[in-house]
Structure 1
Amino acid sequence: MDATFKYRTFLVCLTLVFGLSALSVKLISLQVWNRKLSDTSAVPQFRSHEVIPARRGFIVDRNSTVIAQNRQEATLVADLNHLRSESILHRAVAHFYASQKEGWRDFDEAKQKASLSEARMLVKRNLSEEEVIEKHLTYACGIIGQELRTAPSQIREKFKGEATRIVVEKRISEKVARRIEKALQERNIQGFYFERSLRREYPMPTLASHLIGIRGYDKNRKLVGLSGLEKSMDEILSGRDGKRVLKRDEYGLVNLTKSEKVVPPKKGKHVKVTLDMGIQAIVEEELGMAFGALNAKYGSVIVVDPHTGDILGMASRPDFDLNIRKKYQDAVSYAVSAQYESGSVMKIIPMAAALDLRRVNRKTVVDCGWGGINRYGFRIHDHHPYGELTFDGVLVKSSNTGVFQFADMAGRESYYRYLRNFGFGSPTGFPIPGEAKGVIQNETNMRNFASATYGYGVSVTPLQLAMAYSVLANGGKLMKPRLVDSLIADNGAVLDQTPIHQVRQVVSSRVAKGMCLALEQVVLKGTGRRAAVPGYRAGGKTGTAEKWDSKTKRYNESEKILTFAGILPVHDPKFVCIVSIDEPSGLGEDFPIGGGTIAAPIFAQVAERVARYMNLPPTEEIPEEETSIVSSTTE
């Protein structure tokens, strides 16, 4: 009997030991070995992740004038999980009834607390759960509507439906958001919170809109830069978002006042550009007036410092408002993205090449014929019968036959080498999306060679023209255009500087200076007379190009692109200015449409204003009557 009892007792103890051991193993497994499972399944039920947006860097001009900045705004959101949790709503409803008492505002703190306590007891005793929820929501809509200056009924309409997250109002200023937060907090109203964000704002929204660009949502609904510097510098400007982990209670409701973990955002860097917004305003205004008056299809004006490649001003038409963006999709950065045959402004290439190779000098004379010459089995036509012209005379008269003869002296292969060395046929490396590289057609064809010497068969961009004329203005060097000057930290320290970059020496300083003096003659007595700037020695070249019609396979005489490329002052150049007007219309059949009549006067207006803005001292005295004549012809 004792043996049987002992045996049974042993089995019971053994069973208990195994059972307790198994339970211990399970507990250890849950607490240690399955910790990851616990973190990924249970914890999210008690956490909520909120993104803290990084502050985007500013864009400022060379004088630190703000071009793009941020404005903090808030979105008011309602959490219906809170709004349907009757247990946390009594205090707000009690506040509603207590605040109706006469003299409430004059009560001291103790008396207000007593009134609230009394009202809360009455609410719990006399109102059903549904009534408490409805009263709380009505009270909240009234307070919010008062701050937003919106009818409470309009806010109440937004709570129809089954969504648990309701956006009550977007784009609320930070000032109003803080007033609403204070009002809700004072009344113990629950279930509402703000999502903060930084809205991009442009203080001068119509200046340099193509260069600055905009932000928006991509196909993945991610907020990114869509154009201009906002796109190309997006990663640098954006910084890195932070995050906040909010706790939830056992009912799954977010505790809006407690954070479990905060990872602070990293601010974006500021971008300083080479633009001078004073000059930018000038080019925008002058181009805008001319564009409207000429009823043109496209247009652009560029002002560049030839010695550094700094873009001081660049405007294109059509344009758009950076804050409104109505015409954003239709606007093209014509100065950078348009490529076209530009006509006689390209005549500087063969002329400079012939000078640089020492095949000719500025006293060399060529026979331009009487309206045309025959070469290599084909005829080259000219505008008028010019006869013999000097080097300068060919540029002054813009003679096609004269330019071809100088190009022929340089040689076809040499010409194309210089053409590429001046920067044509390849992108400049400009830091905004969409830059065109231009096109150089068949270089082995002599007809193409002839056409290219006076601006046909070679497609260029206004920006390439600006950098090519800068070669002549700076002593013969091709510079890379600079738009981004530097990256700036929040404390003003320069983090990275874009170096001034000389691409290559194209022609000698002797040739560059001689070409500038020859271009001065074009303005003094040639096709560029209307580009004259009172008090300053200006030089430049006109260009009139008919557009190719792909349907008729012919050049269309009624569709033209007019250009003027100018340098001021020619003896000590401070800036180069390129004006391009594409397809002006409505000027009348008798109006002589050309680079000298359309683009040159725009250059004169821009150059005069820019010279004054830059405080350039006048280079010569002009009699009052002569000044008035120049002004009238410019107009």
Structure 2
Amino acid sequence: MNKQVRHLATVVAVMFLALMVSATSVQFFQASKLNNDGRNVRTVYREFGRDRGPIVVAGEAIASSAPVDDVYGYQRSYAYGPLYAHSTGYFSTAFNNMTGLERSANDVLNGTSSSLLLQRIQTLFTGNQPQGGAVELTLDPAAQLAATKGLGDQRGAVVALDPDTGAILAMVSSPSYDPNALATHSRKDAQAALDALQADEGKPLVNRAIAGDQYAPGSSFKLITASAMLESGKYSVDSMVPAPTEMQLPQSTQILNNPGNLPCGDGSGEVTFTQALKQSCNTPFSTAGMELGDEAMRKQAEAYGFGEPLQVPLKVTASRFPETQSQAELAMASIGQASVRVTPMQMAMVGAAIANGGVQMQPYLVARELTADLEVVSTTKPKELRRPISASTADQLTQMMQEVVRSGTGKHAQIPGVTVAGKTGTAEIAKGIAPHAWFVGFAGEGDKRVAVAVVVENGGHEGEGASGGTTAAPIARDVMAAVLGK
């Protein structure tokens, strides 16, 4: 073989080797990246060109797919539009995007989950069109509707939990949006809908129940301060606590008053622990927070889950208790002000842990995964998350919270024939800005119980005159009553 032929053969061999390496790189090493690239229209057509499974609540499909005569093959639709939007999210061909459960449960809904392996094998043998599985949610339609009606056109959120299992019974964020407008196959219409939603100052795409900018909890945080007090062993429900009408915060010119600038109790400057919570006095809890110290307060907040990652399976933004820089800041943080920020989910978890004897269960939104034929392939088992307080502390807190609803600031949460426990909160934001109104509580007995957290942003319809007792408590009452069938 002459020199030129050998050179040519070598070049050809190198080219074949380069081709093999390139093909291997593309087909194996880069496969995942290329499949997930938003510009890959084959992935879009493959994802949308199948019979995606339904999302089900109480036996009814709230999200489903139907055959259509276009390149995608199926159109996703949402039966109740805004009612469940922040749970389902949307499935958009126009943006090649998924949100909410459409994303977090995507492998089940599109049929690729390992739990649906048998279904996929059967499809290979029968030659039938591949179908997605279904996910059944824990949501209670009556509670979801009550929360939605209660909030109305006010900004805010509601979360209701089963304290015994962690099942999410209601999750509502207001304002909401219609996912059908984003699921349309018309790029022009979908873009117009998205532009309008993103321009809306109410931020309807944000799930305020679990994410967003979070909220100052105001006096609803006193449940955590009260927990720290009881856990310290220095207090009981009948303990006398200092309760001046006002107090000057240490190393500060700021004067702290009780709500409405009213005296706590009889004005003597000392009341029972129960009276302090029932009236939601500020000075006793600020004083106790400073005495317990920053470390004890932070540990108690963290014991309830502050600062911890959480997925339900939607991602929940971690609530936060600040590293206080002064006694004055610690005093304010102890009554849910300063830099304390929470999600309604976190506060519902606080209420649920108290209701459940100090045991906090893992919140979850998906009850079961089903095949296309609605055969059960997996069921979520309740899971203990943590024990933030002792059973004794939970029992004492329950007694005090029942007094709050029976004859304190939470009277508007009363349900005839039902013992309700709760805590109101009115979180001050800044001068000239209406406060956030809160209610955290629980009710029921036996296997029918519910814990709830409600926040109405910036006072809702009541504006600067809003309070947790008058603005948020009635919404919580209606949600709890819906779950209990009252």
- Tell me which interval the TM-score lies in, with the shorter structure as reference length: 0.7 to 0.9
Q: Which amino acid aligns with 1:400?
A: N
Sequence identity (%) = 30
Distance 1:599 1:545, change over 3 A: same
CA deviation string 1:105-131 (max 9, x = no partner) = xxxxxxxxxxxxxxxxxxxxxxxxxxx
Q: Partner of 2:51: helix, strand, or coil?
A: coil
Which residue is equivalent to 2:64?
Answer: 69
**Partner residue of 1:213 out of 86, 89, 99:** 89
Which residue is equivalent to 2:239?
Answer: 364
Which residue is equivalent to 1:597?
Answer: 470
Which residue is equivalent to 1:607?
Answer: 480
The aligned length equals 404
Which residue is equivalent to 1:438?
Answer: 319
Distance 1:492 1:235, change over 3 A: closer
How many angstroms apart in 2 are the aligned matches of 1:284 and 1:370? 38
Which residue is equivalent to 1:124?
Answer: none
Which residue is equivalent to 1:385?
Answer: 263
Q: Which amino acid aligns with 2:90?
A: I
Q: Which amino acid aligns with 2:171?
A: M
Distance 1:373 1:464, change over 3 A: same
Q: Which amino acid aligns with 1:445?
A: S
**Partner residue of 1:412 out of 273, 278, 294:** 294
What displacement does 1:403 show?
1.0
Distance 1:586 1:472, change over 3 A: closer
Distance 1:518 1:572, change over 3 A: farther
Q: Partner of 1:577: helix, strand, or coil?
A: strand
Higher RCO (C-alpha under 8 Å, 6+ residues apart): 2
What displacement does 1:597 show?
1.7
How many angstroms apart in 2 are the aligned matches of 1:587 and 1:594? 8
Q: Which amino acid aligns with 1:53?
A: G
Q: Partner of 1:315: helix, strand, or coil?
A: strand
Distance 1:310 1:572, change over 3 A: closer
How many angstroms apart in 2 are the aligned matches of 1:513 and 1:210? 34
How many angstroms apart in 2 are the aligned matches of 1:460 and 1:377? 26
Which residue is equivalent to 2:140?
Answer: 276
Given that 1:65 and 1:277 are in contact with CA atoms closer than 8 Å, whether structure 2 keeps it comes out as no
How many angstroms apart in 2 are the aligned matches of 1:474 and 1:232? 28
Given that 1:473 and 1:570 are in contact with CA atoms closer than 8 Å, whether structure 2 keeps it comes out as no
**Partner residue of 2:365 out of 483, 503, 517:** 483
How many angstroms apart in 1 are the aligned matches of 2:221 and 2:291? 17
Structure 2: tracts of 5 or more residues without a match:
1-41, 113-125, 183-192
What displacement does 1:586 show?
6.1
Distance 1:524 1:486, change over 3 A: same
Q: Which amino acid aligns with 1:448?
A: E
What displacement does 1:496 show?
2.8
How many angstroms apart in 1 are the aligned matches of 2:414 and 2:318? 31
**Partner residue of 2:50 out of 50, 54, 66:** 54
**Partner residue of 1:305 out of 150, 162, 174:** 162
Alpha-carbon RMSD: 2.8
**Partner residue of 1:562 out of 424, 432, 437:** 437
Given that 2:459 and 2:467 are in contact with CA atoms closer than 8 Å, whether structure 1 keeps it comes out as no
CA deviation string 1:530-551 (max 9, x = no partner) = 222222111111111122xxxx
Query: Which protein shows a greater Rg?
Result: 1
What displacement does 1:236 show?
2.6
What displacement does 1:485 show?
1.7
How many angstroms apart in 1 are the aligned matches of 2:210 and 2:350? 14
Say whether 1:334 aligns with 2:215: no
Given that 1:429 and 1:480 are in contact with CA atoms closer than 8 Å, whether structure 2 keeps it comes out as no
Which residue is equivalent to 2:226?
Answer: 351
**Partner residue of 2:105 out of 233, 243, 247:** 233
Equivalent residues in 2 for 1:392-541 (5 A)? 392-433=274-315, 435-443=316-324, 445-456=326-337, 457-541=339-423
CA deviation string 1:469-521 (max 9, x = no partner) = 11101010122210112221123333233332211111111111110110111
CA deviation string 1:531-586 (max 9, x = no partner) = 22222111111111122xxxxxxx22432211111211389971011111112466
Q: Which amino acid aligns with 1:343?
A: G
Given that 2:147 and 2:475 are in contact with CA atoms closer than 8 Å, whether structure 1 keeps it comes out as no
How many angstroms apart in 2 are the aligned matches of 1:530 and 1:543? 13
How many angstroms apart in 2 are the aligned matches of 1:475 and 1:573? 15
How many angstroms apart in 1 are the aligned matches of 2:307 and 2:448? 26
Given that 1:206 and 1:320 are in contact with CA atoms closer than 8 Å, whether structure 2 keeps it comes out as yes
How many angstroms apart in 2 are the aligned matches of 1:361 and 1:557? 38
Q: Partner of 2:160: helix, strand, or coil?
A: strand
Equivalent residues in 2 for 1:34-183 (5 A)? 53-61=49-57, 63-75=58-70
What displacement does 1:464 show?
0.6
What displacement does 1:215 show?
0.9
What displacement does 1:72 show?
1.1
Distance 1:510 1:561, change over 3 A: same
Given that 2:448 and 2:484 are in contact with CA atoms closer than 8 Å, whether structure 1 keeps it comes out as no
How many angstroms apart in 2 are the aligned matches of 1:605 and 1:206? 20
**Partner residue of 2:449 out of 574, 593, 596:** 574
Q: Partner of 1:449: helix, strand, or coil?
A: helix
Q: Partner of 2:373: helix, strand, or coil?
A: coil
How many angstroms apart in 2 are the aligned matches of 1:572 and 1:495? 25
Given that 2:286 and 2:331 are in contact with CA atoms closer than 8 Å, whether structure 1 keeps it comes out as yes
What displacement does 1:201 show?
1.9
How many angstroms apart in 1 are the aligned matches of 2:395 and 2:180? 45
Q: Which amino acid aligns with 2:83?
A: L
Q: Which amino acid aligns with 2:52?
A: R
Distance 1:544 1:364, change over 3 A: same
Given that 1:380 and 1:400 are in contact with CA atoms closer than 8 Å, whether structure 2 keeps it comes out as no
Distance 1:477 1:573, change over 3 A: farther
How many angstroms apart in 1 are the aligned matches of 2:324 and 2:247? 23
